[in-house]
Structure 1
Amino acid sequence: MRALIFGNSGSGKSTLAKRLAARHGCAHLDLDTIVWEPGRIAEARPMERVLADLDAFIAQHDAWVIEGCYGDLVEHAAHACTELLFLNPGREACLANNRRRPWEPHKYDSPAKQDAMLDNLQAWVSGYYERDDAWSYAAHRRLFDAHAGEKTEYTTLPAMD
């Protein structure tokens, strides 16, 4: 399995990725861990370093799950996946999921720092269907529609028996 999962923040990418990686015993990469400077959310690392880390992860693992909202990185990795999974549950589901999100210690030093970013995150998530950047619905739709390989779009998280 080489699954590439993408969608808006709060769409369920991390939840599905963790389930699939555990079920299939494969490596898991949350793209947030290579995009941002460690301990400094919203401070991007140089793209050449991000791409080098992504390529290294793909080369080092025969089976993997990669997840994130970064359309440019999804496009870069799509050639190597066996399945492309687009999570598109809608704006309200994403906003609600973000409000329920547990503390993510790999992103934030404390729950308070994560909570302090929630309003900014929610505003960004709300604009998903109107923006046209690499992290937007328009970019994600183009990627999904253009992918010639195995692909599935989910409007709710798939059940995992």
Structure 2
Amino acid sequence: MSQRLAVLTGGNWIDLDVFNWEPSGYGVAREREDVISMARNAARDQRWVIEGIYGWIVSNILPSATALVWITLDESECVANIHRRGIRGGATPQSFAELLTWAQTYRSRTGSSSYAAHEALFTSFPLDKMSLRSRGDVTLFSEGKFPAL
């Protein structure tokens, strides 16, 4: 969904999983400094859409943003999206099952990848912002029918 949104808005699509994990697949994280550097380089583009849940990465590039659109779907929608996308990036059936469980705990877990942390980033963002809470919101936004920033 975020990739389609990037195409529709003319932005660069940034998949934070690609930055966070070594090319060998999930489970082997890159060095934090390398991840932050990659994210900062990507955020130099005029427009970008981020897919990912890594608040610690986003907090490092948010100062480069002039507007913020937070796509915050219900966990059941996220789990359905993960199922549709399937196993990727060298994941195993076990790691895929763990990802599904992890996605289901978005609002109840703590840390920089939690709903509370993302909400704090969103709330403190001082410029134009909006939250898209459903596929319908995303569709309306991408068609220019959602209230403008």
Q: TM-score category by the smaller chain? A: 0.7 to 0.9
Aligned to 1:146: 124
| RMSD, aligned α-carbons | 1.9
Aligned to 2:65: 81
Q: Distance in 1 between matches of 2:77 and 2:21?
A: 25
8 Å contact from structure 2 (residues 14, 49) kept in 1: yes
Q: CA deviation at 1:29?
A: 1.5
Counterpart residue type for residue 38 of structure 1 = P
Q: Distance in 1 between matches of 2:9 and 2:127?
A: 20
Q: Distance in 2 between matches of 1:64 and 1:90?
A: 23
Give yes or no for the alignment of 1:36 onto 2:14: no
**Secondary structure at 1:65 match in 2:** strand
- Richer in strand (by share): 1
Q: Where in structure 1 are there 5+ consecutive unaligned residues?
A: 1-14
Aligned to 2:49: 65
Aligned to 2:103: 125
Q: Distance in 1 between matches of 2:87 and 2:103?
A: 18
Q: CA deviation at 1:115?
A: 4.5
8 Å contact from structure 2 (residues 87, 96) kept in 1: no
The alpha-carbon distance between structure 1 residues 95 and 37, as it changes in their structure 2 partners (threshold 3 A), is same
Aligned to 2:37: 52
Map residues 107-122 of structure 1 onto 2, 5 A cutoff: 107-108=89-90, 113=91, 115-122=93-100
TM-score w.r.t. length of structure 1: 0.76
Q: CA deviation at 1:102?
A: 4.5
Q: Distance in 1 between matches of 2:130 and 2:110?
A: 22
Aligned to 2:147: none
Q: Distance in 2 between matches of 1:114 and 1:28?
A: 25
Give yes or no for the alignment of 1:155 onto 2:140: no
8 Å contact from structure 2 (residues 67, 127) kept in 1: yes
The aligned length equals 139
Q: Distance in 2 between matches of 1:21 and 1:94?
A: 18
Q: Which has the higher contact order (CA 8 A, sep 6+)?
A: 1
TM-score w.r.t. length of structure 2: 0.81
Could you list the structure 1 runs, at least 4 aligned residues long, displaced by more than 4 angstroms after superposition. Answer: 113-116
**Secondary structure at 2:18 match in 1:** helix
